[in-house]
Amino acid sequence: MKVHNPMLAALTMLIFLVGCGDTQVDITPPTMDVVSYTPQPVEDEICGTLAPQVFRLNNGQDLQIDVVFNDDEALSQYKIDIHNNFDCHGHGGGSAPNIPVVNVDNLTVDWSVLDIQDISGESAPVMRTLTVPDNVTAGNYHFQIQVIDESGNDSPFANFNALKIQNLQDTVAPEIIVEEPSMQSIEINKGETIRFRGQVTDNRALNMGGNGLLYLAYTDLSSGNTFATDQAFGFELVSDAIYSFDFEYVIPQTLVSRTYRYSLGAHDGVRNVAPFVFFEVEVL
């Protein structure tokens, strides 16, 4: 007959737990202390939202980083990641769909950095100089420094900042002038057509730099998600500073009956972004 002894079972469990307690698992993520940044980040608007840490840089300018990585046991690697944020991914209002542009001879260069370096010890000072390309595509970029220890711990949302890049060859944004629709608020049935007519004007030829584009997008106000339409017009053949547009857009049958915010957007050859023109469209 099997006899159950509660005291003996409890003692066995206690011995097991004490034995397991000898192994310490490292769950503490490493940290980064900033000694200096050059230039200093400032508060600025990014994608319609005020961001506290924005680096403003021009083509050919250096971003200098002086930081110290620390860990309670042992560091492993750090990563520097710079990539464009033209479509405002990870942001709310002001986002635009990521519509590709034609690859032409004078196309600007998007600034892209993905650099992973090994480090060791409990503390590692790092100084780096990152140079903006001479013929950089203007606009918003993401800039992140990430550090990992030997146990794989990291802080994925720490040390995440924004870059606002200018190309000094052209710092003037184009302007969208709309003649139709004449109303900013529209009621319309699915399957019906809206006509968009007007001009995009700029200070120099719209094809200079290769990124020029006019497009129509819409935002579902119930979810905040923004979608591209099939109405997009590249400026790669527009050698003038004025582009006249005249096109019709059919309201899709698939849209749920509700209010949407339609937006006409444009950017010039180096990707200076024009102020959006918005229309509130109630789909019946």
pLDDT reported for residue 97: 55
By the 8 A CB rule, do 155 and 173 touch?
Answer: no
What CA–CA distance (Å, rounded) separates 227 from 96? 8
HSE, side-chain direction, 13 A CA sphere, residue 64: 7
Residue 273 is predicted with a pLDDT of: 92
Q: How many CB atoms lie within 10 A of CB 35?
A: 11
Residue 49: per-residue pLDDT: 84
56, two tokens: 């403003």
| Regions in the chain scoring below 70 on pLDDT | 1-23, 89-105
Identify the pLDDT of residue 2: 47
Query: Cβ–Cβ contacts within 10 Å for residue 93, how many?
Result: 12
Tokens read off for 127: 């100084």
The pLDDT value given to residue 240: 94
Q: Name the residue type at position 188.
A: I
Domain ranges of the chain: 31-166, 175-283
Q: Which fold has domain 175-283?
A: Immunoglobulin-like (2.60.40)
Mean pLDDT, all residues of the chain: 87
Over residues 83-103, the pLDDT tens digits come to: 999 887 644 344 455 566 666
The CATH T-level fold of domain 31-166 is Immunoglobulin-like (2.60.40)
Give the pLDDT confidence of 45-76 residue by residue, as tens digits: 888 788 889 999 999 999 999 999 999 999 99
- pTM of the entire structure? 0.81
